[in-house]
Structure 1
Amino acid sequence: MTLLFHASDLHFGREDRDALDWFVAEATDAKPDAIVITGDLTMRARSAEFAAAHRWLEALPAPVSVEVGNHDLPYFDVFARFFRPYRRYDALERLIERPLALPHVTIVPLRTTARAQWRFNWSKGIVTGDRLDDTLELLGEADTHHRLIACHHPLIEGGTSGTASTRGGRAALRALSAQGATAVLSGHVHDPFDRTEQIDGQSIRLIGAGTLSERLRDTRPSYNAIHISPTDHSMDVRHVHMA
């Protein structure tokens, strides 16, 4: 059995320190095989926020892969957003969009953020052809039964009050399913969800993580614990204990 911890939207700068400490304690106790963070490490992509996120990630007792979230692109510095958007990742670079190979499971990244879009709200998701091609190539090289995609924005809506409105998301989901993807892990909406979509006779599971920040919507801070056997996977949503 492979155990995967899936968390998202830490928002250092508006983080919930109690929730973050609780997550580290949970990981230390359960010893997951890997931890996937599906974006928004920071609130405003400031250097101090990335540094705090890096210190926290270094304390985790498992291999970590981190996706890029829309809040991780410079917000106030327009020059940096367009020309040096990932400079502040610095020491975190080795964890960003890191494919992971585990027993029975391969985890492949798909970036859904953009420095700019042809619409007013740049925080929403988008899947471009070149990024999808890169993901499909990695997915085609996987030889495990479970092939999971990690991205920040849900490719299609998960029924939460927050939305992703991901352009190209449904077409991407179809292409990923055809290439053998069995599940998509995402964040962004700050509430967990778990649904299964049928595409051309194939089932693909869509799993969203909540937040470990103060920026709550409908549920308190949480993460997903995903238990994966050679032929199946189950998920528990675990919420921070309230005093």
Structure 2
Amino acid sequence: MTLLLQLSDPHFGTEQPPVVAALERLVAAQRPDVLLLSGDITQRATAAQFAAARAFVDRLRVPTVLAVPGNHDIPLFNLAQRVLQPYARYQRAFGPVLEPEFDSPSVLVLALNTTRWWRHADGEVSDAQITRVADRLARASARQWKLVLLHQPVAVTRAEDRKNLLHGHADAVQRWRAAGADMVLGGHIHLPFLLPLPAPGKGSGPGPVLWAVQAGTAVSSRVRAEAGNSVNLIRVADSGPRQAAVERWDHDAGLQQFRCVAQQALPGRAPG
């Protein structure tokens, strides 16, 4: 089995030490193979906040780390740096590659940078990015679970969150579904959910479904009234039937630990 941990919106600079400690204990117990950081790693993209985030990731000791920047990971008040070197601090902490890839016999993860220096909070996916990801998905093995990692969401469950939808999401979802994507992972809105995205004009009956997998804020105090700190664990079978499951783990303040509150087995596309 390959175990992936999706950790989003930690907003270092607003992290809660007891929640950080609880998450470190969860990771030590579960021992994920891949860490997926879906943006807003810092609150204000300062050098100190990136250093704290990097130290936290290093303490987790997850073998493979894939990260994408969020809108908070670009300097907000330093206009010159925002325009000329928006990712300089991010790249010093998490490496020069803004759109990394993880490729194993059972899992393919394609990460996309959906931030733009000229947008304050909104995200955008370009035609070139959509095409590049679709082409890569189409070349993947039929056995692989195919995941796309973003910051802003491609789907929402509440009317007030529609303003946060990724610009270009409709075309991206349509083309990535056709190319074989199984999941699109996001954050940004601090609201965890798992949502099937059936093809336009069709119901959610039998057949392959593209899933929107949203993570809440992992350790930040910037929680929504209806959702506290949470992370996702994604379990993918490496052999036998093509199987995967998504688990939501919420922080329990009373117990000072993360606990599994929901689990969903995902029906995938049959290989071959």
Q: TM-score higher than 0.5 here? A: yes
Instruction: Determine the C-alpha separation between the residues in 1 that align with 2:223 and 2:45.
Output: 19
The equivalent residue for 2:107 is: 105
The equivalent residue for 1:71 is: 72
- Residue in structure 2 matching 1:231, options 224, 238, 242: 242
Distance 1:127 1:95, change over 3 A: closer
Q: Taking every aligned residue pair, what percent have the same amino acid on both sides?
A: 30
The aligned runs of 1:191-210 (5 Å cut-off) are 191-199=191-199, 202-210=208-216
- Residue segments in structure 2 that go unaligned for 5+ positions in a row: 201-206, 255-272
The answer (yes or no) to whether the contact 1:2–1:102 under 8 Å persists in 2 is no
The equivalent residue for 2:128 is: 130
Distance 1:215 1:160, change over 3 A: farther
- Residue segments in structure 1 that go unaligned for 5+ positions in a row: none
Distance 1:235 1:160, change over 3 A: farther
Residue 199 of structure 1 aligns to a residue whose secondary structure is: coil
Residue 19 of structure 1 aligns to a residue whose secondary structure is: helix
The aligned runs of 1:107-186 (5 Å cut-off) are 107-117=109-119, 122-143=120-141, 144-159=143-158, 162-163=161-162, 164-186=164-186
1:36 positional shift: 0.5
Cα RMSD (Å) of the superposition? Answer: 1.9
Residue 240 of structure 1 aligns to a residue whose secondary structure is: strand
Please list the CA deviations of residues 140-194 of structure 1 after superposition, one character each: whole Å capped at 9, or x if unmatched.
3422431000000111224485442221101111111111111011100111010
The equivalent residue for 2:229 is: 221
Instruction: Determine the C-alpha separation between the residues in 1 that align with 2:231 and 2:139.
Output: 29
The answer (yes or no) to whether the contact 1:73–1:86 under 8 Å persists in 2 is yes
1:19 positional shift: 1.6
The equivalent residue for 2:6 is: 6
Amino acid across the alignment from 1:215: R
The answer (yes or no) to whether the contact 1:66–1:95 under 8 Å persists in 2 is no
Distance 1:87 1:81, change over 3 A: same
1:96 positional shift: 4.5
The answer (yes or no) to whether the contact 2:105–2:144 under 8 Å persists in 1 is no
Amino acid across the alignment from 1:71: H
Instruction: Determine the C-alpha separation between the residues in 1 that align with 2:160 and 2:251.
Output: 20
Q: TM-score, normalised by structure 2?
A: 0.82
1:114 positional shift: 1.0
Please list the CA deviations of residues 8-36 of structure 1 after superposition, one character each: whole Å capped at 9, or x if unmatched.
00101111222222112111111112110
Instruction: Determine the C-alpha separation between the residues in 2 that align with 1:92 and 1:159.
Output: 32
Aligned residues: 239
The answer (yes or no) to whether the contact 1:158–1:206 under 8 Å persists in 2 is no
The equivalent residue for 2:33 is: 33
Instruction: Determine the C-alpha separation between the residues in 2 that align with 1:193 and 1:95.
Output: 28
Instruction: Determine the C-alpha separation between the residues in 1 that align with 2:156 and 2:215.
Output: 13
Instruction: Determine the C-alpha separation between the residues in 1 that align with 2:194 and 2:46.
Output: 32
Q: TM-score, normalised by structure 1?
A: 0.91
Instruction: Determine the C-alpha separation between the residues in 2 that align with 1:130 and 1:160.
Output: 29
Q: Which has the larger radius of gyration?
A: 2
Distance 1:58 1:94, change over 3 A: farther
The answer (yes or no) to whether the contact 1:45–1:71 under 8 Å persists in 2 is yes
The equivalent residue for 2:204 is: none
Instruction: Determine the C-alpha separation between the residues in 2 that align with 1:220 and 1:54.
Output: 23
